[in-house]
Amino acid sequence: MSGSAVPASSAATEKGDLTRRHILDTAAAAFAKHGYAGTSLNDLIRDAGITKGGFYFHFPSKAALAVAVIEDRDAVWIREVSAAAQRHSRGIDQLTSMVDSLCDLYERDPSFGSVGRLCRELGVETRDAPDVGPRVFATWFQLISALILRAQDEGDVRPDLDPLAVAETCVAAFLGAKDLSDLLSDGTDLRRRMDAITDILLTGVRTTR
């Protein structure tokens, strides 16, 4: 046998990983477009081109798949915005770069819209995974709070502001802008809305110097 041959177990694992990735991508696109309740498991299986057995090998239920989609897309979000932030030295610039990075992601891949929609449906409307939204947003609150605190230390943000309150306001503003953009322009004007919101928020939190 050739020394370069790939062990059968490794090939099977790689194939399984690719199948799982394909299911996640297919589901993210479907959930972003139709929502959790509006996407049937049969539709997902058909669109992914797999069998029911193949699906259940990777995910025990539609709810488990939806949670996996949220965690997968959220991990990409965090990775992308962190990379964008690291290109700047000051906390305030890192914060604004996060907004651009998020808009880039939405423009490049509309399936990222599935995260907010799924968190709302799973946690509030169906109660299938009530803890997933708080877990996801807690990460964002922590990340943004740290940047606000750093910007305060650097003298760019008012020291009287509560970093967590600012972080929660930023996240709420983004979610609201995303929903409004989806309703009024099918998501095409998200960047314009976020530029306006960022300008307004920065005017309110910046120090006057």
Determine the pLDDT at residue 9: 64
Domain ranges of the chain: 63-205
Q: What's the N-to-C CA distance of the chain in angstroms?
A: 72
Neighbouring C-alpha atoms within 13 Å toward the C-beta of 89: 1
**For residue 170, how many other CB atoms are within 10 A of its CB?**
23
Residue-level pLDDT at 127 = 75
Q: C-alpha angle 66/182/135, rounded to 5°?
A: 35
**What integer pLDDT is reported at residue 48 of this predicted model?**
94
Q: Return the pLDDT at 8.
A: 58
Per-residue pLDDT at 1: 47
Provide the 3-class DSSP secondary structure of residue 206: strand
For residue 100, give Cα distances in angstroms to 95, 129, 192: 9, 30, 11
Measured N-to-C along each axis, helices 132-153 and 62-85 cross at an angle, to the nearest 10 degrees, of: 10
Classified as helix, coil or strand, 35 is coil
Instruction: Please report the pLDDT score of residue 15 as a whole number.
Output: 81
Instruction: Give the pLDDT score at 24.
Output: 96
What is the per-residue pLDDT for 12?
62
Model confidence, pTM: 0.83
Q: Tokens in use for 116?
A: 């907010």
Q: At which residue do the structure tokens 């600012």 appear?
A: 166
Q: Are 128 and 137 in contact (CB under 8 A)?
A: no
Digits of tens for pLDDT over the chain (209 positions)? 455 555 656 766 778 789 999 999 999 999 999 999 999 999 999 999 999 999 999 999 999 999 999 999 999 989 999 999 999 999 999 999 999 999 999 999 988 888 888 988 988 777 778 888 888 999 999 999 999 999 999 999 999 999 999 999 999 999 999 999 999 998 899 999 999 999 999 999 999 76
**CATH no. of 63-205:** 1.10.357.10
